[in-house]
């Protein structure tokens, strides 16, 4: 296997036989793959995250490939699929299992069906366990395991009709005849890895060493992690193909927060405003830091709800994020003021003067200063006051206030931990913020660092030792 550097989100191209594999790493731990045959110029996109649609499309065009197939291995419960956005750009056939019930899917393969990229064969296998509709792909030398087998772990099975016994049977049947040299590309990894070998997993993955079916089921179903954040919304998006709206009313946000969805709220106000009043569990990423903290925004579970005082700065943040190909964004209409008026839960602290009031006071003082200087020093200083007035008119017309952006950087508008605030949203940008598709680590497993701290798509706990009755 050889690798070459790719300019897209740190992806690397890997050669497996005659195929070229390009993995795309998402900050939530999700993995998207582009599988191409350079000889024929045909390719296949697998499990495309909505945030990565443009990255994948750009790479397909850069390689000069066609894209006949876009495949979802299963119904994703922890992130929005981008298959419906990518496929129309290339006239691709969308593929998913018939049990997925995805709108817009044209082909529902049976176990053992084959796709062709030139002379290269991609075999589709039905792999139920994580979900009943799960598929995996096999090529000569590689297994694209989706959410079945992970690096050092396996998928959780506690929602969407998952079945731990089925997962055990699927994994052992799937790998029985595959050589140790087979490269495994998982659907998730929370430590930045893109692949492993089947030999490495046979030797080191404790779930593969747990051959007894009953013990496997007992271990996997113990202490399930939290449900993926916004799971019901994401299922509707992925099955019905509905779009995430550009804006969302505050009443709907209040209800989502009551149901545990606060981790999807990105507050773009300044730290001092956040300390005065914020939604418990929301993540603070001030507007002036948004471009430097894109991966933190992407680590927030979609649909991502952008919040400020009244909505203006949230729209500015959305425009910035869209320019950087971040998707799944909804602006909370009316901001935190509307949210509070409608009974939304807020946590209050020391009250600070709002940025809007600071702009009014600052503009007024500058106009007075200009008038005084014109009277006492030189009449041309009246132009200074006129410039301030023109700036206010511009701000009113465009909804973009330069003075507000300057004042936002003032020391009294900052708060301790501005750069690290919002820890309720997740422990790191590379981990899912709240839930996902992974099972949890054991309390005494000693491997907690190798899995997401708040759930994911992998089993985040380990089975008991093989000689244990636990």
Tokens of 280: 């418990």
Q: How far is residue 200 from each of residues 178, 180, 181, measured CA to CA in Å?
A: 13, 8, 9
pLDDT recorded at residue 380: 82
| 112 and 135 Cβ atoms separated by less than 8 Å | no
- pLDDT tens digits for 153-170? 999 999 999 999 999 999
How many CB atoms within 10 Å of residue 365?
11
CATH class of the domain comprising 2-221: alpha beta
| Secondary structure letter of residue 232 according to DSSP | H
pLDDT recorded at residue 267: 97
- pLDDT tens digits for 101-137? 999 999 999 999 999 999 999 999 999 999 999 999 9
Q: Which residue blocks in 399-450 are alpha helix, DSSP H?
A: 402-408
- The answer to whether the bond into 303 is cis (omega within 30° of 0) is yes
How many Cα atoms are found within 13 Å in the side-chain-facing hemisphere of 258? Answer: 12
pLDDT recorded at residue 439: 55
Which residues are CB-neighbours of 169 under 8 A, at least 6 positions away? Answer: 129, 213
pLDDT recorded at residue 430: 28
pLDDT recorded at residue 196: 96
Strands, E assignment, 97-198? 114-117, 120-126, 135-139, 142-146, 149-150, 153-154, 183-186, 196-197
CATH class of the domain comprising 231-352: alpha beta
Q: What is the largest CA-CA distance in the chain?
A: 92
Residue 30: strand, helix, or coil = strand
Exposed, middle or buried: residue 467 (CB in 10 Å: 0-12, 13-18, 19+)? exposed
Burial 107-122 (b: 16+ CB within 10 A, else e): ebbeeeeebebeebeb
pLDDT recorded at residue 441: 40
Which residues are CB-neighbours of 299 under 8 A, at least 6 positions away? Answer: 27, 28, 425, 426, 428, 429, 430, 431, 432, 433
pLDDT recorded at residue 390: 78
| C-alpha span between 228 and 217 (Å, rounded) | 21
State which residues of the chain have pLDDT below 70. 1-11, 350-353, 355, 395-402, 404-405, 407-410, 412-470
pLDDT recorded at residue 381: 77
């Amino acid at each position: 296997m050889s690798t070459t550097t790719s300019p897209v989100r740190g992806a690397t191209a890997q050669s497996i036989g005659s195929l070229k594999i390009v993995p795309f790493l998402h900050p939530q731990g999700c993995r998207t793959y582009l599988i191409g045959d350079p000889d024929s110029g045909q390719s296949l996109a697998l499990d495309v995250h909505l945030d990565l649609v443009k990255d994948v499309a750009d790479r397909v065009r850069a390689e000069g490939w066609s894209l006949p197939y876009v495949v979802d291995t299963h119904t994703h419960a922890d992130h929005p699929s981008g298959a419906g956005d990518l496929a129309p750009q290339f006239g691709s056939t969308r593929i998913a299992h018939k049990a997925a019930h995805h709108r817009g899917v044209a082909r529902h393969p049976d176990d053992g069906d084959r796709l062709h990229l030139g002379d290269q064969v991609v075999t589709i296998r039905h792999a139920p366990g994580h979900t009943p509709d799960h598929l995996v792909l096999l090529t000569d030398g590689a297994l694209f395991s989706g959410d079945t087998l992970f690096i050092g772990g396996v998928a959780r099975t506690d929602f969407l009709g998952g079945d731990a016994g089925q997962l055990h049977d699927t994994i052992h049947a799937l790998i029985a005849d595959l050589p140790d040299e087979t490269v495994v590309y998982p659907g998730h990894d929370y430590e930045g890895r893109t692949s492993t070998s089947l030999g490495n997993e046979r030797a080191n993955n404790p779930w593969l060493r747990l051959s007894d079916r009953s013990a496997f089921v007992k271990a996997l179903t113990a202490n399930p992690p939290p449900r993926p954040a916004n799971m019901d919304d994401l299922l509707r998006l992925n099955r019905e193909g509905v779009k995430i709206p550009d804006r969302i009313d505050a009443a709907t946000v209040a209800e989502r927060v009551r149901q545990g969805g606060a981790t999807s709220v990105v507050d773009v106000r300044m730290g001092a405003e956040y300390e005065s009043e914020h939604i418990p569990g929301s993540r603070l990423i001030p507007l002036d830091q948004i471009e430097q903290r894109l991966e933190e925004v992407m680590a927030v579970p979609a649909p991502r709800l952008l919040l400020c005082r009244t909505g203006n700065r949230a729209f500015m943040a959305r425009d910035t994020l869209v320019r950087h190909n971040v998707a799944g964004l909804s602006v909370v209409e009316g901001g935190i003021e509307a949210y509070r008026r409608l009974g939304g839960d807020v946590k209050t602290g020391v009250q600070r003067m709002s940025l809007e009031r600071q702009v009014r006071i600052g503009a007024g003082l500058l106009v007075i200063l200009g008038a005084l200087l014109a009277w006492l020093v030189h009449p041309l200083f009246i132009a200074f006051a006129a410039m301030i007035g023109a700036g206010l008119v511009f701000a009113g017309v465009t909804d973009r206030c330069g003075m507000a952006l300057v004042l936002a950087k003032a020391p009294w508008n900052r708060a301790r931990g501005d750069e690290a605030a919002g820890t309720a949203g997740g422990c790191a940008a590379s981990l899912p913020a709240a839930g996902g598709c992974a099972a949890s680590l054991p309390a005494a497993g000693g491997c907690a660092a190798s899995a997401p701290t708040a759930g994911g798509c992998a089993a985040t706990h380990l089975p008991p030792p093989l000689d244990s009755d636990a």
